[in-house]
Amino acid sequence: MEHRWSNRKSIQGCVAITSSPWDKLQASISDISLGGLAITGLRQHIPINSVVTLSFALERDGCVNYYRLLAQVVYCENARIGFLFIEPEGDTIHELRDILYSPTRNMSAPIHGQPCAV
């Protein structure tokens, strides 16, 4: 079972996944938190404990912020894969916290990322 130390927020967006055994993979982000994110829609199996690079974008107040983070696979079941961010920089954590949990943000409002390429 996947456990995260911060609340998850649903998101509609795309993530590019890079790792040495594969070319760049693309999947839909299911949810995100300060500690990691979960994806769906990936046809490729990624083994537990694999380390990958996740590239994604989040929108905040009309501005798009781009992220590239190292992450480890911590969960892989039922077409859903969970990643734990590995040592993200402090600025990244602050930006994600502002996007995810801003007091001015409607907590039920969706978070928007970049759509997947077709």
Task: Print pLDDT tens along the chain (118 aa).
Answer: 455 566 788 888 889 999 887 778 899 999 998 889 999 988 888 899 999 999 998 887 777 888 999 999 999 888 899 999 998 887 888 888 888 777 655 544 555 566 665 4
Burial profile 43-76: b = 16 or more Cβ within 10 angstroms, e = fewer: eeebeeebebebbbbbeeeeeeeebebebebbbb
> What domains does the chain contain, in order, with CATH numbers?
9-102 (2.40.10.220)
Q: How far is CA 1 from the centre of its chain?
A: 17
pLDDT at position 110, please?
54
Kind plus residue range of the DSSP H or E element containing 72: strand 63-77
The reported pTM is 0.82
